[in-house]
Amino acid sequence: MNNKIFFGIDIGGTATKLGAFNADGLLLKKWEIPTDTAESGTKILPHVAKEILDFAQDLARIASVGVGVPGPVLHSGYVKRCVNLGWGDFNPARELSALLHGVPVFAGNDANMAAMGEYWQGGGKGAHNIVFLTLGTGVGGGIIINDRLIFGQAGLAGEIGHIVVNPEETIPCNCGQLGCLDQTASARGIVRRAELLLKTNPTPSILRNVVTLTARDVFDAAKDGDPIACEAVRTCIGFLGKAMAMLTNILDPEVFIIGGGVSKAGEYLLNIAREKYISYAVLSDQRAKVVLAELGNDAGIYGAAKLAMDSLR
Amino acid sequence: MNNKIFFGIDIGGTATKLGAFNADGLLLKKWEIPTDTAESGTKILPHVAKEILDFAQDLARIASVGVGVPGPVLHSGYVKRCVNLGWGDFNPARELSALLHGVPVFAGNDANMAAMGEYWQGGGKGAHNIVFLTLGTGVGGGIIINDRLIFGQAGLAGEIGHIVVNPEETIPCNCGQLGCLDQTASARGIVRRAELLLKTNPTPSILRNVVTLTARDVFDAAKDGDPIACEAVRTCIGFLGKAMAMLTNILDPEVFIIGGGVSKAGEYLLNIAREKYISYAVLSDQRAKVVLAELGNDAGIYGAAKLAMDSLR
C-alpha cells in the first residue's frame, strides 16, 4: 500500500484541480486543467481519468480517488443535479471508477471537501469536531463530527450560509429565506452593507471615493479606522459570530475554521469574529477556537484525497 | 453475553428511573426510586448501585450501565456541574463503575439519552441521522449522526432550545439571548403567547374563561377552532418549523422526532410543524420526516441502555 497514490480532485465550473498524495498524506504533485462543460459535462470525467492515469502510469499504483463537485452529493456519490457542470441524475463516483477500470472513487460536495482538507492538514489539524465556514461571494461550509464528514440524507448538510441570522433583512436570499448568513457575512453582503451605510449615514468615509466597492476595500478601510467601513465589518462579522454561537449550541465543535476570499482580512476579521462569537455563545463554558483556514484553494484536493483514504478503511 | 443485562438509568431531580434490558434490547423490567439529593447528591449513585445489584443478583451478569444526567456531560463521563443533583467536578460514570466493582459505566445528558432511546426503539427506528426535540417546560434535544450521539467538546451539543428564531422577542431567555426556541415552542412559551394575544386582541376566546392557563388548554381550544388559541399555536409551532429548517440546512437529518409534554397535542401539532417546516426548508429537495416520539418517559432509560451497549463495541 505504501507506494500507492491517492488522488484528490476538485472540479470547479471553469477549472479542475488535481492532487496526488502518498499514503502518508504528503502532496506529491498538484496541477490544474480546464473544466470542459460542453456536451452536458460528459467530457469532464474522461479528462480527469486521463490525467490520473498519465500521472500514475500504472493502474495498480492508484489506491483510490476522491472528487469534489460544486453541488449536493449523496453519500453514495449520486448527484441529482449540478448546474455548473451540466450534470443531472448522475453518479460521478461510479462513472470515474468505470473509466479507471474499477479503482474506488468517492465523491462529495466541494465545500465539504474543503472542510475535510482543513480538518485534516489545515486549521483544524488534530481536532475531531470542526465546522468550516467559507466566506466568498456567498457563505458555504462543511461539518466534521467524530472525524467523519456529515453528508446528510440528501447531501445538504453543511449549508451553513442559510442559517437565518439577520432579523432586519428586507430582501430575500436566493434560497427564498430572509436574513441568511450568506446575505451578510459574504463578500457581497459586506459590500452591500457598506453601500447602505454610505447612502444613509453622512459620516465622511474614504469609501465614498471608490467607484466599484469590493469587500477588500471595506476591510482595508476598516483596518485604517474608517468609521463606515468599521461599522459594516462589525455588523456583518457580528452575524457570523451569531451563527457560530448557534452552531455551538447545536454541535459544540472544538474549532471553527474561517476560509474563503473574505478570510484574507486575516487576524483583523478573526478578532471581531471571536469577540462577537463569545458575546453570543452564552451557554458554553468552553468555547470553540476560531482560526483561519490554512490551505487556501488547495483545501478541496486535500479533502477529496482524505475522503478517498478514509473510505478505504 | 446473551444472558447478560444492560442497565439504562435516568437520574432526575426528584426520581430516578431504572431499566434492565437483555442483549437483544428487550426491556426486562423498569422501575423508579426517589432521587435523594441530600449531602451534595452523594447518596444518589450508591442507591442506584444497590438497585442494579439487587436486580442482577450476580455481578457477572451485568454487561454495562448507561446513565442519563440532567446537565452537560462530557464524552468521558465528566460532569462539571449539575445543579439539580448537587454534583460538581464529578465523574458519575467512574464513581458508579467503582461501586459496581469495575462494571463499565457510561454517562450522557438526559435529553441526549432520550434522543438515543427514540433513535433506537422509538420514532426514529431504522434511521441513522435524527434530531430529537423535546418540548416541555422548555425545549431540549439531542442529535444522532451516523448512528452516534453527538456530545460536543464540552457536552453542550443538542441544546436546540437555544437556536434563535424569534426576531421580535423583547424579554431575554434564561440563557441571556433574545428569541430562543425555548422561549416560544415550549409549554411556557405557548402559554405566554396566548396570554399576550388575549391582552392585545379583543377577539372572543374560550381561553378568557380559564383562570390558570396551561399549554394543554391552548391546544385543546385550538383544536376546537378558537381563533386566539389557533394563532398562538401557529406562531409558536411556526418557530419550531423555522428551527427544523435551519437544522436541515446544517445537518440534513432523515427524521425529526418531537417529544416532551407539549407533543401530547399529537397529530394536530405535527401537521402544523410539518407545514411550517416545509415552508421554511426551501433548500431541501428531500425533507426530513417529522414524527412523534413513541417512548414517553421511558426514552431516557432506553437511550442510556443503548449508549451502554454501543460503548462496549
ipTM of this complex prediction, to 2 decimal places:
0.89
CA distance A278 to B173: 17
- What would the pLDDT profile of A92-117 be if each residue is shown by its tens digit? 999 999 999 999 999 999 999 999 99
Nearest residue in B to A286, CA atom? B154
Write out chain A residues lying below 8 Å of B129, CB-based: 152-153
The whole-angstrom distance between B248's CA and the closest CA on chain A is 7
The whole-angstrom distance between B145's CA and the closest CA on chain A is 8
Q: Cβ A129–B143 below 8 Å, yes or no?
A: no
Return the DSSP state at A103.
Answer: -
Q: What string of DSSP letters covers A7-57?
A: EEEEE-SSEEEEEEE-TT--EEEEEEEE---HHHHTTHHHHHHHHHHHHHS
User: Is the pLDDT confidence value at A1 over 60?
Assistant: no
Indicate the pTM of the whole model: 0.91
Q: Which of A150, A160, A280 sits opposite B145 (nearest CB)?
A: A150
- Cell 459590500 locates to A191
Q: Cβ B157–A242 below 8 Å, yes or no?
A: no
Q: Cβ A250–B247 below 8 Å, yes or no?
A: yes
- Residue B279: CB atoms within 10 A of its CB come to 13
Nearest residue in A to B244, CA atom? A163
pLDDT of residue B2: 66
- What would the pLDDT profile of B27-47 be if each residue is shown by its tens digit? 999 999 999 999 999 999 999
What residues have CB less than 8 Å from B84, skipping those under 6 apart?
Answer: B12, B13, B37, B70, B71
| Tally of residues, chain A | 313
The whole-angstrom distance between A259's CA and the closest CA on chain B is 18
- What would the pLDDT profile of B138-193 be if each residue is shown by its tens digit? 999 999 999 999 989 888 899 999 999 998 999 998 888 889 999 999 999 999 99
Write out chain B residues lying below 8 Å of A164, CB-based: 165, 242, 246
Write out chain B residues lying below 8 Å of A159, CB-based: 249-250, 252, 283
* Neighbouring C-alpha atoms within 13 Å toward the C-beta of B125: 10
H or E stretch covering A142: strand A139-145
Nearest residue in A to B180, CA atom? A246
Nearest residue in B to A74, CA atom? B252
